[in-house]
Structure 1
Amino acid sequence: MTPRTAEPVWLGLDVGTQGVRCVATDRTGGTVASGAHPLRGTRDGVRHEQDPRQWWTALSSACRSAMSGVGTRPVRGLALCATSGTILLTDSGLRPVTPGLMYDDARAADEARRVADAGERLWARLGYRPQASWALPTLLWLLDRHGDDDGDGVRLVHQADYLTGRLAGTPTAVDSSHALKAGYDLDTEHWPWDVTDALGIPAAVLPDVVRPGTAIAEVGPDAATETGIPAGTPIIAGMTDGCASVLGSGTFAVGSWNSVLGTTLVLKGVTDHRLHDPLGVVYSHRAPDGNWLPGGASSSGAGVLSELGGPADLDRLTTLAEARPHRPVVTYPLFSRGERFPFVAPEAERFTLGTPADDVDAYAALLRGVACVERLCFDYLDLLGAPTGGTLTTTGGGARNTYWTRLRATLLGRPVTVPHDADPAAGMALLARAHESSLADAAARTARDAHVVDPDPDAADVLTEGYLALVGAWHDRGWLPTELAAHARERSTR
C-alpha cells in the first residue's frame, strides 16, 4: 500500500516591535503550527534601536518552535514581513555596522528637510512627504556617522532583507513595500537616482528591489540548521507588517480597511488609485494584485498599556472597566514623543483631558484615546476622498480585547470584524501560497473564521464628547490642521 503523501505547509514570518512569530499554514490558511519569541529594544526620547543580531536569534527560535509541530509535512515556501522603515547599515557580508534604527526613531529631523528639498517634485507626484522617522532621512543620518566605518563600503539593509539574507546565507533583494520609505518610486519601479545623487547617496549603497510575491532566494544550509526550515525552501519577497495584516485579514475589496492594533495603531485600506495627501501622512503601498494600499502608522497604540503591568493586570482592569459606564475622560495615548498619523507633530506629548477617578478610570481613558486616534484617521481619510464604506476588520494584540473592540466600534459608528488567526504572519503565509498560483486564488481557498462586534448606541454620545474634546485640544496645541478639525466636527453631526 502506497503511503499517503503528507500535506504541505507554507510559512509566514512576522517580525514586530516586541516579538517574532512564525506560523505554518495549510492550503486553506489553517494554522498547523506556530512559534514565537520576544524582542526588546532601547528607547530614549526620539531614539529607538534594536540589535539586528537579536532579530535573527528570535526568528530562529520562533521558527524552530513552529517546525517542531510541522512534522514530516513538506515546506513549500515562506514569506516575511517586518516593521516599516526599520533599517541598518551592513558590510558587504551582511554583518551589521550599526544598530537597527526602528520605524519611529526620529533623530533624522535635519536630514528629513534635506530629503524634502531634494525630492520636492518626486514627493509631490507620489503624494506624500517623507518624515524624520522614514528610512531615507535615517539612511542619511547613518551614512554621516558610519559611512566610512568599513573599507569595503556599507549597504542599506531593511529589517526584512537583513533577515531574508540571513535565511539565504547571502544578501537578497528587498521588496518594494519595505523600500517605499527609503524613497523607492512605486510608479517607475526604480530608485529615484536624481534624488539619491543630489543627496550624495552612492548607488552601491542601495539594494536591488523586487515586487512582493517574487521568489528571491532559497533557505541555505546554515540557516536550515539554526531554524529547522529545510534547506532549499523558496523565500518569497514579502511586505511590511501593516500590509501583511491587510492580506491576513482578508481585506481585498476596494473601500475595505484593516486596523492593526499592536504596539502602534496601523491603518491600511484598499483603493483603485493612489491617494494624494497634502500633509504627507498617508502613503500608498502597491498591492500584489495591482490595487493600492493607502494608510499610515500612528505613534499611539497598545504599547502604552505595557506600563500598566502584565496580562493579568490588564485582564483585571478590563473586567473592572467593563462594569462601569464610559466617561468623557480621555488620554492622548502616545508612548513616545511625536505623532506621525493622522497628523504630523514632532513635539506632541501625552496628555489627559479630565481627571481619572482611579487606576481603572485611567486605563479606560487610554483605551478611549486610542479609539479617538483611530476615528480621526478615518475622518482624515474621508477628507482626502478615500472610499471607507467597505468592511472594517481589526487585527493585532489589541483586537483580542472585546471590550476595547466594542468601544472602538461605538466611537467609529460601525461594526468591526475580528478575524481569527489573521495576523501579519498569516498574511505572509498567504503570500507564499499565492506564489504558486495567484493572490486571488490563494485568497479564495482560504477559510475564514471571524466574529463581528457591533457598536453600543448607549455609549455613543459620551464617547463622541470625549473625542470632540480631544480634537479641540489637538487643534489648540497647534498640532491638528484647522481643516481636519472642522471636518471631524462636521462628520460627528452626520
Structure 2
Amino acid sequence: MSAERYVIGLDGGTGGARALVADLSGNVRAIASSDYATTHPHSGWAEQDPADWWRAACTAVAKAIRMADVSPRQIAAICADGTSSTLVALDAGLQPTMPAILWMDNRASPQARRMAATGDAALRRSRIGVSSEWAIPKILWLRETRPEVFDRSRWFMEMADYLALRLSGALSLGHNHITNRWFYDGRRGGWPEDFFGRIGLSGITERFPARVLPLGAPVGPITPEAAAEMGLDPATLVVCGGTDAYVAMLGLDVCAAGRTAFITGSSHLVLSMTDRDLEVPGIFGPHPDCVVPDLYVMEGGQVSTGSVIRWWHDQVGCHMHGEDSFAAMMRAAEAIPIGAEGLVALDFWQGNRNPYIDYDLQGALWGMTLKHTPAHILRALLESVVYGTRNILVTMAERGVAVEEMVGCGGATRSPFWMQMHADAAGVPISVPVEAEATAMGAAVAAAHGVGAFASLPEAAAAMVRMDCTIEPDPGRHARYAEQFEFYRATYEALRPLMHRMARRGQTTPEDPAAAVRPGLEPAAAV
C-alpha cells in the first residue's frame, strides 16, 4: 500500500472524542478533539447522550483531516475505541432507549454483589469480585428497576460498538471488551448462558449482536451518510476497536508475552501480556485473545493516583507556588529524600481496586512531626502511588507473572521526576513512546491492520510505534524504596480494621438502603 495512505484512530474518551491521523509508518499528521458532557441525575450515576458522541466524533475527524491537509481519498480506514463498560441500549430501529450508562456509574452495585455471590464458574477471571462498572450488572439493573425500558431495548452494546455502528451501519460486538468485561470466553464455549440464567438474565444473549469481531477486524465500508458528515471518502473501511486501555496496548507496542503497558492519569492501569493461562488472586484475568490471538492479558489498577496529586495541588500547592504552581510543588517534593523523613501514606483515597479489592479502605498519612512541611506531605503522597503500582507488580510476580519492563503513557509521563520514582520503586525500566496519545494511536494501528497494510496487529504496532526514551531504575534508590514499601504494606495491615470500622460508621441508616451501597468493585462472597 502506498506510503501516502493514512488511517484514523478515533478515541471515544470520558470527556470527549479525539481523532488522530497517521501514515502507515506511524507519523502523526494531526490530532483534533471535541468535548461532550456527562450528567449525574443521582448520586453515583453518570450518563451521556450517544448523539453527543457522534457529533463530537464527526467534528474531531473532520477537523483532523483539515489539519492534516490530506485528501479524504487518502484515508484508508478508521477505527474507534471507547470507554470500558459504557452501556448503550437500542430499540429495534437502532435508536437509544435511554442515555448511555457511563463506565463510572455505580447504580448496579446490588446486582454486582449478587452476581459475585453465586460463585459461578463464569467468574473464573474475576474471582476477586464483580465490578458494578461492568455492563452485565447494568443490564440486570435495567431489567429489575426499569422493566419498560428493558423491554423496549432490542440491542445492548458498548460505546465502541455504537461508534462502529454509526460509522458502518452494521451491528457487531467487539471481542475485546466482551472478553474482559462481559464474561465471554471464546475458549470455553463463548457466552455463559447458565450463569446469565442464574442471575436473572435468561435469553439475554439474543439481545447481543451475533456478529463478534476481534480487535482490528474489518467491520465494513463507511456509510455514505457518515462519510459526508465526517468528510471521508465512501470507500473508507471501518475497523473493529475495543476498550480504550486495551487498544492503547497497541499504541504502546505491547503485543508480545512479557511486555506490560503502564497507563497513567487520574488512575493507573497495569496491563501485562502473557502466554500463560495463570490466575493471580487480586488481579483480573487472564483474558484470552482479547488483544493478540494466543496471548492473555492480566489487569491490575489503582483507583486514585494522579487524582490525589491534583487534589493536593488544588487544595494546597496552587496557593503556595504562584503561576507555575504544579511544577514548583513537584520540584519541592523532589528535594525531599526518599521516605519523606518518616512520613508514610496510603493511596486508597477512593478505595483499592488491586490487589486488595476493598472499597472500604481510605487514604492515610502518618508520622507527622513539627519538622515536616507541605513538600514532605506531597513526597509521601507521590510515594504512596508508586508503592501501589509496585504492589500490583509484586502480586503478579509472586504468582509467576514477572514484569521486567513497562511502556508508559498518560499524565505521569509529563513529569520525569515522578516517572523516575515509578521506575526506581518498581525496579524495572519504563519506556515512553514518541506519540503520547497511545489510545488513539492504538486505534490507528488496528485500522492499519484491518485494511490489510500489515499481516498482524504486532506487525502493525512494530512498524508504527516508536519509543522516545527509556527511564532506567537506579539500584540504590530501588533498595531504599523497597524498605519503605514494607512500611506501606504494614500500614495497610495495621489500619485495615480501623478503616472498615470507619466505613461502617459512615454508611447511612437502614431507612436509606440505596445510599448505603458502596461504589466500585463488589467482593465475591465465597468463590
**TM-score of the superposition, structure 1-length normalised?**
0.86
| 1:301 correspondence with 2:319 | no
- In structure 2, relative to structure 1, the CA distance for the partners of 1:92 and 1:11 (3 Å cut) is same
Aligned pair partner of 2:414 in 400, 409, 422: 400
1:424 equivalent among 422, 432, 439:
439
Task: Structure 1: give runs of 5+ residues left out of the alignment.
Answer: 481-494
C-alpha deviation, 1:204, in angstroms: 3.1
Q: Deviations over 1:89-125 (max 9, x none)?
A: 2323343333333334333232123323556122237
- Residue by residue, what CA displacement relative to the aligned partner does 1:377-429 show, whole Å, maximum 9, x if unpaired? 1011112211323x311111222211110011111122211111151111111
- What SS does structure 1 have at the residue aligned with 2:132? coil
- Is the 8 Å Cα contact of residues 89 and 142 (structure 1) preserved in structure 2? no
Q: Following the alignment from structure 2 to structure 1, what is the Cα–Cα distance between the partners of residues 224 and 335?
A: 55
Question: Are 2:49 and 1:36 equivalent residues in the alignment?
Answer: no
**Equivalent residues of 2:125, 2:284 under 8 A apart:** no
Distance 2:406 2:298 in 1: 14
Q: Take 1:102 and 1:115, find their aligned partners in 2: how far apart are those partners?
A: 20
Report the alpha carbon displacement of residue 76 of structure 1 after superposing the two structures with TM.
1.0
Compare relative contact order (CA 8 Å, sep 6+) and give the higher one, 1 or 2: 2
2: distance between equivalents of 1:316 and 1:60?
39
The aligned runs of 1:136-285 (5 Å cut-off) are 136-149=136-149, 152-168=152-168, 170=169, 172-180=171-179, 181-188=181-188, 190-201=190-201, 202-208=204-210, 209-279=212-282, 281-285=284-288
Distance, in Å, in 2 between the alignment partners of 1:100 and 1:110 is 19
Q: Out of 316, 319, 331, which is 1:319 matched to?
A: 331
Q: Which residues in structure 2 correspond to 1:437-476 (within 5 Å)? A: 437-446=455-464, 448-457=466-475, 459-460=477-478, 463-476=481-494
Confirm or deny: 8 A CA contact 2:37 2:48 kept in the other structure. yes
Q: Is the 8 A contact 1:13 1:425 kept in 2?
A: yes
1:61 and 2:63 correspond: no
Q: C-alpha offsets along residues 145-188 of structure 1, whole Å, 9 cap, x if unaligned?
A: 233127643432212112222223x3521211111312222324
The one-character-per-residue Cα deviations of 1:62-82 (angstroms, maximum 9, x if unpaired) are 222211123226111122222
CA contact (8 A) 1:93 1:171 kept: no
Q: Aligned Cα RMSD in Å?
A: 3.0
Supply the AA of the counterpart residue of 1:207: P
Task: Please give the alpha-carbon distance, in whole angstroms, between the structure 2 residues aligned to 1:137 and 1:188.
Answer: 21
Q: Does 1:123 align with 2:123?
A: yes
Cα distance change of structure 1 residues 47 and 297 upon mapping to structure 2, 3 Å threshold: farther
**What are the superposed Cα offsets for residues 20-52 of structure 1, whole Å, 9 maximum, x if unpaired?**
322111111111211123455356764444443
Once the two structures are aligned, what percentage of the paired residues are identical? Answer: 26
Tell me the distance in 2 between the aligned counterparts of 1:91 and 1:212: 26
Matched, 1:12 2:35: no
Please give the alpha-carbon distance, in whole angstroms, between the structure 2 residues aligned to 1:250 and 1:194: 37
Go from structure 1 to structure 2 and tell me whether the alpha carbon gap of 1:284 and 1:323 turns closer, same or farther (over 3 Å shift).
same
Distance, in Å, in 1 between the alignment partners of 2:325 and 2:48 is: 27
Instruction: Determine if contact 1:16/1:83 at 8 Å carries over to the other structure.
Output: yes
Partner Cα separation in structure 2 for residue 254 and residue 429 of structure 1:
22
How far off its partner does 1:345 sit?
Answer: 0.7
Match for 1:314: what amino acid? F
Counterpart contact for 1:10–1:24, Cα < 8 Å: yes
2:52 maps to a residue whose letter is: Q
Comparing 339-348 with 450-459, greater Cα deviation is found at 450-459
Out of 437-446 and 257-266, give the one that drifted further: 437-446
**Matches of 2:347 and 2:231, distance apart in 1:** 40
Residues 1:289 and 2:293 are matched in the alignment: yes
Q: Which moved more, 1:262-271 or 1:108-117?
A: 108-117
| Shift, 1:233, TM fit | 1.8
- Unpaired stretches in structure 2, ≥5 consecutive residues: 499-527
